[in-house]
A and B are shown apart, each in its own frame.
Chain A
């Protein structure tokens, strides 16, 4: 009897814990994902068709299309993030190793993630505006004879968006890496330093192997999110002048047809583009897992 009651209590407890997230997941994750697939195959009249896909491939071939540019910039952004990744880890590492002023950096380096993007982009675009010394120096260094409007000029806009992203992301993921380095047992490093190990071999031979699982996981995540790679182009110049990325493009599609016109065909086309992108992303994801299979096995949550 007692046992039965216990079991009953357990079932109730489990239901309480899992029902809300599962219902939420079915409504807000499963349903829209399936309806995205259906929407991708509908035309503006709601009839089944492959129009959206033919349009997608047509636009992808067009050298001037937004979509093509968006893909190009997304890959570029991803490449830069990939190259920058080790440097971002180094930031946390040096703070962990207590470079002079690390206590100060530990706090200040959080600023880019604490300050809201709406504010930082607003300030940033004014700092690089024609009245500021940055734009003026660019004009002088390149001997242009005028001060360029960096965000409204194809020659500079995309570079500026990428630099802004690098600037703000320089400290990297302090929370994750701070936590990871903090877990390295101090004895290990102390004994190493007593053995007279140099900085470089300490880093490469002790630190990196120890945190490798985290690196591997982050790499997988980075690669799987490849099509989401984007700077703040939307807030900086609305994705104009060659700065649009895939995620900015997608966001703009939803935003511009929101409100009363939410049934517009724009959403169907967006779904088709999303579907194609997802298929490629699945491919990449499987590939990268095969590639890092060994690494991924080591990951433990």
Chain B
């Protein structure tokens, strides 16, 4: 653990230890959130209210076993909300990445009328957010009948976004020689893309997919607006908390929190390395 310190000057060692100590405090505080949630999910409702910081007197597993029965919001049971979450996060993230990568590939490797414009537009769009369009967007969704429907996921087929820039940069730097070789062998453009180019972008695709998935798995704001009748788990939890007026089950609330947190935690611990190393913006000046 302290190997990295060996070759350093004493002042530097001191600095590193100090930094590490500060980091430790933050790290512990983050772990405490999960620990507190877990602990609360194993207490009774009354214990959570009266002694929010004490350990459970008896482990109360009923918060988990009764969760399917108690935790339901706007006609959506736990299973239904889980389905909504998976649908909007997995299908949504996949559609978005699928559309974006093809779009970026096409713009970086092919010339067609307007292909250079697209890059400029995306660059402006990502650096210049337009404010106050929430009302117009809500009306649009309403008029298209995309409120409270699974088809809402279609709105995620976006290609004009930051990830476009990542993919474009990636493909720009990717040599075209393989493609030419494949073309010699008679491959068409679809085959070149799917058999030659796409496989090379797999790590980038995967890590961007994962970040998009995570963002929408945890997303509450747009779901609360557009899909109140098809709540995903985070919105279900938020609503359950608000509607707790009529139910005294904080234990179930925190049990649900644990259930939402676990898939995200597992994915990140498993793929931490890929995520932290495969994306870069702005490049390196060497």
A residues near B (Cβ < 8 Å) are 6, 9-10, 12-14, 16-18, 20-22, 24-25, 27-29, 31-33, 35-36, 39-40, 91, 94, 97-102, 104-120, 122-124, 126-127, 129, 131-133, 167, 170-171, 174-176, 178-180, 182-185, 193, 198-199, 209-218, 220-221, 224-225, 227-228, 234-235, 246, 250-251, 253-255, 257-259, 262-263, 266-268, 270-275, 277-278, 281-282, 285, 298-301
Contact = CB atoms under 8 A, between A and B. Distances in A.
Given A255-B225, A273-B132, 16 more contacts: A6-B188, A16-B102, A18-B106, A18-B159, A21-B99, A24-B99, A36-B130, A101-B27, A108-B30, A182-B277, A199-B11, A253-B135, A267-B135, A267-B139, A278-B132, A285-B127
12 contacts: A13-B106, A14-B112, A36-B133, A100-B5, A178-B275, A199-B9, A214-B283, A221-B126, A228-B131, A251-B134, A262-B139, A299-B282
A175 B33 contact: no
B132 to A, nearest CB: 1
A179 B37 CA distance: 31
Contacts of B7: 193
Contacts of B126: 221
Contact of B4 (A99, A118, A133, A227): A99
Given A119-B237, A277-B132, A179 B279 contact: yes
B175 to A, nearest CB: 17
A170 B268 contact: no
Interface of B: 1-2, 4-5, 7-9, 11-12, 15-17, 19-20, 23-24, 26-27, 29-31, 33-34, 36-37, 51-53, 99-100, 102-103, 105-107, 110, 112, 118, 125-140, 142, 144, 155, 157-160, 165-166, 168-169, 172, 188-190, 193, 207, 211, 214, 217-218, 220-221, 224-225, 228, 234-235, 237-238, 241, 253, 257, 260-261, 264-265, 268-269, 272, 275-286
Contact of A250 (B34, B132, B189, B257): B132
Contacts of B36: 123, 126-127
Nearest to B239: A118
Contacts of A227: 129, 131
Contacts, number: 333
A224 B127 contact: yes
Nearest to A176: B281
A44 B247 CA distance: 39
A32 B131 CA distance: 11
Contacts of B217: 116
B134 A254 contact: yes
A107 B260 contact: no
Given A20-B159, A21-B160, A220-B127, A115 B34 contact: yes
Given A123-B37, A213-B283, A32 B140 contact: yes
Contacts of A179: 276-281
Contacts of A199: 8-9, 11-12, 15
Contacts of B279: 175-176, 179
B126 to A, nearest CB: 7
Contacts of B4: 97-100, 102
